[in-house]
Amino acid sequence: MRLTILGGGGFRTPLVYGALLTDHHERRVDEVRLHDVDGSRLEAIGRVLAQMGAGQDDAPTVLTTTDLDEALEGADFVFSAIRVGGLEGRTADERVALDLGVLGQETTGPGGLSFGLRTLPVARHVAERVRAVAPGAWVINFTNPAGMVTEAMQQVLGDRVVGICDSPIALARRAAVTLGLDPAGTRVDYVGLNHLGWLRGLHSGGRDVLPDLLADDRMLGSMEEAHLFGPEWLRTLGAIPNEYLYYYYFTRDAVASIRSADQTRGEYLLAQQRGFYEALARAGDDPYGEWDRVRRERNATYMQEARDEGQERGEDDVQGGGYEGVALAIMAAIARGEATSLILNVRSAGAVPGVPEDAVVEVPCTVDGDGPRPLAVSPLTTHQLGLVLQVKAVERLTISASATGDEREAVEAFALHPLVDSVTVARDLLRGYRARIPAVDAVFTRRD
């Protein structure tokens, strides 16, 4: 099989290739094509992958190209992991919002809408080229904001686009392991949107064991989510939220913490990755070692603003990968027709009561040779449904604005987001993003 990775010069590409090297199924990937608009990064990551595959006779062949059609042609699966505007764009996403006193974060809040505005036109173009040169391919979307991008690409390719995120699967796994259970033997009740969902139940032995976890101080206190939200808030909700809901439930705390730091997460990663790619050029015979060192450092500082000073991320979370395993599990299920269960971003198709059937949601799915099918879930609570519908409306306005260049729709999207507190601020956000990020400004100045 041929796998194409868009954004192949990105830092996380070796995670996917490493997972392929340990995949010994009969129908395995024998060729990987990496595409990126930055040839120097492609070359650097190619060196890391070459070291990883050295000495393995069956390691997938790696080809690199900056030509999109060449990368896509004949692909069986396409992983889309692009970052339009680079990390420089991310730092602007954060700072424009923070300067206006609202949350500045990569995918949540106004920063996520800015990221979406500049990414969606490129994602649609990718979908159109897949339809033209690889119509039989399945597209597995990693690109953030994942739910929004997946929904826009589905407008071109239909259900052959699947969005993935490792957060909900990792949450369910942590809960099961904390209870001393084998995650494979549990049934998960999780529902929401990408970066906005709740683990509402964990079924084992014919009953829901999540209340046992919520009631146990020792077990609950050992989980990362208890450090983020506090045990009492989890018990109040009667569920365990996705970690990104910290920005909704503790908005002022998050904004204050980010603003008090010397640099935002994006600024930290920008400096780190500039240093990484420079160091990689000097890494001699051990480019993989340099990559792995930076990976561990990067993981350890994830969502630092949500932890108390001096509090470190759990070692299991630092070591764990995630999204690459989810992607390969989808590939294996489709290629071999062996059913598996995963939490994915797919059309609701009636699975989530109260949510439009064509809206992309994040829910448990069965995946086999025909692709993923969402499993019906019990109704959301009033609070959950209200938040999901409001954010979904914002996502859809952003998708439309990115396609039409309609500034009014973009302002409406910013203004209606739960984390933006004024229409005036919404207008200032759009002005600020247009001034700071050329790819956002281009959405409203281009003429077809």
- pLDDT tens-digit readout, 329-349: 999 999 988 899 999 999 999
Instruction: Flag the least confident range among 18-32, 205-219, 276-290.
Output: 18-32
Residue 276: per-residue pLDDT: 86
Residue 321: per-residue pLDDT: 46
Residue 324: per-residue pLDDT: 86
Interacting residues of 358 by C-beta distance below 8 A, sequence separation 6+: 347, 348
Whole-angstrom CA distances from 389 to 331, 349, 394, 433 are 31, 15, 9, 25
**147-185 pLDDT, tens per residue?**
999 999 999 999 999 999 999 999 999 999 999 999 999
**73-92 pLDDT, tens per residue?**
999 999 999 999 999 999 99
Nearest by Cα to 35 from 11, 4, 2, 74: 4
Concatenated DSSP letters for 77-140? EEEE---TTHHHHHHHHHHHHHHTTS---SSSTHHHHHHHHHHHHHHHHHHHHHHHH-TTPEEE
Mean pLDDT, the chain, rounded, equals 92
Tokens linked to 409: 């729709």
Residue 325: per-residue pLDDT: 86
Q: Give CA–CA dist 323/169, Å, rounded.
A: 9
Provide the 8-state DSSP code for 246: H
* Mean pLDDT confidence for 369-385: 97
pLDDT at 305 over 70: no
**404-434 pLDDT, tens per residue?**
999 999 999 999 999 999 999 999 999 999 9
188 φ/ψ angles, rounded to the nearest 5 degrees: -100, 135
Query: Which secondary-structure segment (H or E) carries 141?
Result: strand 138-141
Q: Give CA–CA dist 79/66, Å, rounded.
A: 15
Of 307 and 360, more confident: 360
Residues forming a β-bridge with 190: 199
Query: Which pLDDT band holds residue 302 (cuts at 50, 70, 90)?
Result: low
- What one-letter code names the amino acid at 183? P
* Mean pLDDT confidence for 106-129: 98
Instruction: Flag the least confident range among 20-24, 54-58, 131-135, 294-298.
Output: 20-24
Residue 320: per-residue pLDDT: 38
- Taking a C-beta distance cutoff of 8 angstroms, is the pair 385, 392 a contact? no
Interacting residues of 53 by C-beta distance below 8 A, sequence separation 6+: 17, 21, 59, 60, 62
Residue 309: per-residue pLDDT: 52
Instruction: Give the up-direction half-sphere exposure of residue 109: CA atoms within 13 A in the CB hemisphere.
Output: 31
Share of the chain above pLDDT 90, in %: 82
Q: Give CA–CA dist 123/115, Å, rounded.
A: 12
**207-265 pLDDT, tens per residue?**
999 999 999 999 999 999 999 999 999 999 999 999 999 999 999 999 999 999 999 99
Residues forming a β-bridge with 421: none
Angle 327-333-338 from CA coordinates, rounded to 5°: 155
DSSP-based three-state secondary structure for 284: coil
117 φ/ψ angles, rounded to the nearest 5 degrees: -55, -40
Residue 58: per-residue pLDDT: 86
Q: Is 274 exposed, middle or buried (0-12, 13-18, 19+ CB in 10 A)?
A: exposed
Query: Which pLDDT band holds residue 188 (cuts at 50, 70, 90)?
Result: very high
Instruction: Give the up-direction half-sphere exposure of residue 401: CA atoms within 13 A in the CB hemisphere.
Output: 28
**32-65 pLDDT, tens per residue?**
999 999 999 999 999 999 999 998 888 999 999 9
